[in-house]
Amino acid sequence: MPDKKVIEDFFRSLQDKICAGLEKADGKATFKEDLWERPEGGGGRTRVIQDGAIFEKGGVNFSSVHGPCPEFLKQEAGIPVNENIPFLATGLSLVIHPNHPFVPIIHMNVRYFEAGNIWWFGGGIDLTPHYIDVGEAKFFHQHLKKVCDTHSANYYPDFKKWADEYFFIKHRNETRGIGGIFFDRLSGNDMFTKEQRFAFVKAVGESFLTAYLPLVENNRAKSFTEDNKQWQLLRRGRYAEFNLVYDRGTKFGLVTNGRAESILMSLPPLAKWEYNHIPLPNSLENSTLRLLNTINTWEV
């Protein structure tokens, strides 16, 4: 059975692998590392890339925090309030904001939680194009389905549905992007051991570069206009709204006294809000907005 050290070591090595792959793809910028400690216990490695050839801002963060279990976590985990049980939360989280409006934003996190005999894995990966290309959306989902199907035939349909429902901006009545997969509280049961759950989480993490880099290469040389850039800023605004209002990882980090700079690195470097912006009929922007107003099946 994998213990917390094995799991932590995997997340650290995954951070190294992903950062190296993104640096190679960018070809200009490199990640800057910031080590930090949490007063109550634990810490992490925040790595940020900025002003690159293609990546305007991105962060790939490893963290492992521990200490007395906060009251809200006791309630969530089903731990009696009067019990003093320490918790551990470790994982990797990343967000990449490209400078090119036809290269999509991507987010991924893989994480592990334990308190006493209670443990579970969570995570997911999702894509937020500024302009939706249906063919690329299908490629992304086919890739995720292949990863999921290796571990369970139920994973992809269940976790895709979860992502569709989770990455939804309710006050805008639109999806954040084209979704992906999202899962939480994957613990042991009659069907899955801890080793099997961990193997799946590892596969999701290791699939990141092969899922994302082809989309970067397909689009980075395309020409674009100032109107395309302005639309990109508007879509970044929607991304920021979701992360600040709904994102569970952001809320968890802030209420557990995590490092604010590391938590909020998911926000774009520049964004825009324009009152009642309505795209022109038959435009690429209007087409994208129509697709975002529904939870698309992206049939694979």
Q: Count Cβ atoms within 10 A of the Cβ of residue 198 and give its class: 0-12 exposed, 13-18 middle, 19 or more buried.
A: buried
The DSSP secondary structure of 120-134, one letter per residue, reads EEEEEEEEE-SS--H
Q: Is residue 259 part of a domain?
A: yes
User: What is the value of pTM for the model shown?
Assistant: 0.93
Q: Is residue 299 part of a domain?
A: no
Q: Which domain holds residue 36?
A: 4-292
Neighbours of 215 (CB within 10 A): 21
Determine the Cα–Cα distance for residues 6 and 13; give it in Å rounded to an integer: 11
Going by pLDDT thresholds of 50, 70 and 90, the confidence category of residue 216 is: very high
pLDDT for res 262: 79
CATH number of the domain residue 170 falls in: 3.40.1500.10
| E-strand stretches of 150-196 | 168-169, 174-175, 179-186
Determine the Cα–Cα distance for residues 200 and 59; give it in Å rounded to an integer: 23
Q: Is residue 171 part of a domain?
A: yes
Please give the tally of structural domains in the chain: 1
Measured in Å, how far apart are the chain's first and last C-alpha atoms?
A: 34
Is the pLDDT score of 252 beyond 80? no
Determine the average pLDDT of the residues in 78-97: 87
Q: Is residue 300 part of a domain?
A: no
Phi, psi (5° rounding) for residue 244?
Answer: -85, -25
Going by pLDDT thresholds of 50, 70 and 90, the confidence category of residue 299 is: low
Which of 126-140, 226-240, 243-257, 263-277 comes out lowest in average pLDDT? Answer: 243-257
Is the pLDDT score of 2 beyond 80? yes
Under DSSP, the state recorded for 256 is T
Q: Is residue 149 part of a domain?
A: yes
Is the pLDDT score of 128 beyond 70? yes
pLDDT for res 261: 83
Contact between 149 and 141 (Cβ < 8 Å)? no
Q: Is residue 14 part of a domain?
A: yes
- Residue in the block written with tokens 């939480």: 184
For 186, how many CA atoms within 13 A lie in the half-sphere containing its CB?
26
Going by pLDDT thresholds of 50, 70 and 90, the confidence category of residue 259 is: confident
Q: Is residue 297 part of a domain?
A: no
Determine the Cα–Cα distance for residues 173 and 155; give it in Å rounded to an integer: 26
Higher pLDDT pick, 120 / 69: 120
Is the pLDDT score of 145 beyond 70? yes
pLDDT for res 297: 62
pLDDT for res 264: 86
Q: Is residue 298 part of a domain?
A: no
| E-strand stretches of 99-254 | 105-115, 118-128, 168-169, 174-175, 179-186
Contact between 106 and 79 (Cβ < 8 Å)? no
Tokens representing 103? 């290269």
pLDDT for res 258: 74
Q: What's the mean per-residue pLDDT of the chain?
A: 92
pLDDT for res 188: 93
pLDDT for res 265: 82
Determine the Cα–Cα distance for residues 144 and 127; give it in Å rounded to an integer: 11
Determine the average pLDDT of the residues in 30-48: 94
Determine the average pLDDT of the residues in 192-220: 98
Determine the average pLDDT of the residues in 244-259: 82
Positions marked catalytic = 107
pLDDT for res 81: 66
